[in-house]
């Protein structure tokens, strides 16, 4: 089955700096890669996702890149702010397609991001 | 989170007792999932459902069962709770197009 590895497990940056979190996946059939942000005491929240037919996607200060050949994808946060402090999870799915496949997500182990003011 | 609620939010139970966690959605989504979250392991899939009375096992299903008799409710049962099942449990829903919406979680402690 799919296995997702995520690094680093903790990341501390100064406010205004960039943060990068990296994930690798094992199943070459995986075709959907979301990123979730989890604040303390809350459930994970989808912040950005990318599908295998796209190499990069941006949404304001966050971006995700995908390298299918190397089977890795990364989350980039620019101009970090204290409110970006949270746990971030990557995930991969090999079951996604339009029309309603089960889309089981396999998650990485998470990265605790601390943005120092 | 809007559209999905989990109950209870917190529960302490004794080893060997049965426990049922409830996930309720108002989004009419077809897919529902139960995950557990533990330090160092991230989120691991326990069971999922792709419709009423259609369920399947995830990667850590031993010791758990599920039922879905209505679109809006997905129940997770620990038949005989063990200390290794102390965890935070999250329910998630999906329309099948990609992203999940997670509930706020249930913190379960087995003593």
Per-residue pLDDT of chain A (117 residues; tens, 9 = 90+): 789 999 999 999 999 999 999 999 999 988 899 999 999 999 999 999 998 888 899 999 999 999 999 999 999 999 999 999 999 999 998 765 544 456 789 999 999 999 999
Take residue B110 and report the two structure tokens written for it.
């087995």
Report chain A residues touching chain B, CB-CB < 8 A.
1, 6, 32, 34, 36, 41-46, 49, 51, 89, 91, 96, 98-110
Question: d(Cα A4, Cα A38) in Å, to the nearest integer?
Answer: 18
Q: Binning pLDDT at 50, 70 and 90, where does residue B2 land?
A: low
Residues of B in contact with A106 (CB under 8 A): 45, 59
Sequence-ordered list of residues with C-beta below 8 angstroms from that of A37, at least 6 positions apart, any chain:
A44, A45, A47, A86, A87, A88
pLDDT at B1 over 70: no
How many other CB atoms are there within 10 angstroms of residue A94's CB atom?
20
Binning pLDDT at 50, 70 and 90, where does residue B76 land? very high
Cα angle at B69 between B17 and B35, to 5 degrees?
55
Residues B43, A107: C-beta atoms closer than 8 Å: yes
Give chain B positions within 8 Å (CB) of A49. Answer: 98-99
3-state secondary structure of B60: coil
What is d(CA B49, CA B66) in angstroms, rounded to the nearest whole number? Answer: 9
Q: Can you give the length of chain A in residues?
A: 117
pLDDT, residue B69, reads: 96
Model pLDDT for residues B25-73, shown as the tens digit of each residue: 999 999 999 999 998 889 999 999 989 999 999 999 999 999 999 999 9
Looking at chain B, the whole-number percentage of residues with pLDDT higher than 70 is: 97
Q: Report CB contact under 8 Å: A96, B30.
A: no
Bridge partners of B93, per DSSP, are: B32, B101
Distance from CA of A67 to the nearest CA of B (A): 19
Closest by Cβ to B99, choosing from A46, A101, A109: A46
Which among A116, A108, A115 has a CA at the least distance from the CA of A22? Answer: A108
């Amino acid at each position: 089955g799919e296995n997702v590895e995520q690094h680093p497990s903790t990341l501390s940056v100064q406010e205004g700096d960039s943060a990068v979190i990296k994930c690798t996946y094992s199943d070459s059939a995986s075709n959907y890669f979301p990123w979730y942000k989890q604040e303390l005491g809350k459930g994970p929240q989808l912040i950005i996702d990318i599908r295998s037919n796209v190499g990069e996607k941006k949404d304001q200060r966050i971006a995700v890149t995908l390298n299918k050949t190397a089977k890795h994808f990364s989350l980039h946060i620019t101009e970090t702010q204290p409110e970006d402090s949270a746990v971030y999870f990557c995930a991969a799915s090999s079951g996604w397609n339009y029309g309603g496949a089960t889309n089981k997500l396999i998650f990485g182990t998470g990265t605790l991001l601390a943005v120092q003011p | 989170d809007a559209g999905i609620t989990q109950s209870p939010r917190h529960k302490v139970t004794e080893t060997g007792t049965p426990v049922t966690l409830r996930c309720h959605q108002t989004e009419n989504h077809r897919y529902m999932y139960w995950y557990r979250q533990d330090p160092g392991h991230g989120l691991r899939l326990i069971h999922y459902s792709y419709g009423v009375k259609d369920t399947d096992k995830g990667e850590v299903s031993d010791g758990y069962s599920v039922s879905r008799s209505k679109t809006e409710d997905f129940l997770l049962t620990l038949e005989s709770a063990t200390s290794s099942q102390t965890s935070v449990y999250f329910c998630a829903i999906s329309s099948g197009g990609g992203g999940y919406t997670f509930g706020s979680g249930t913190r379960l402690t087995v003593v």
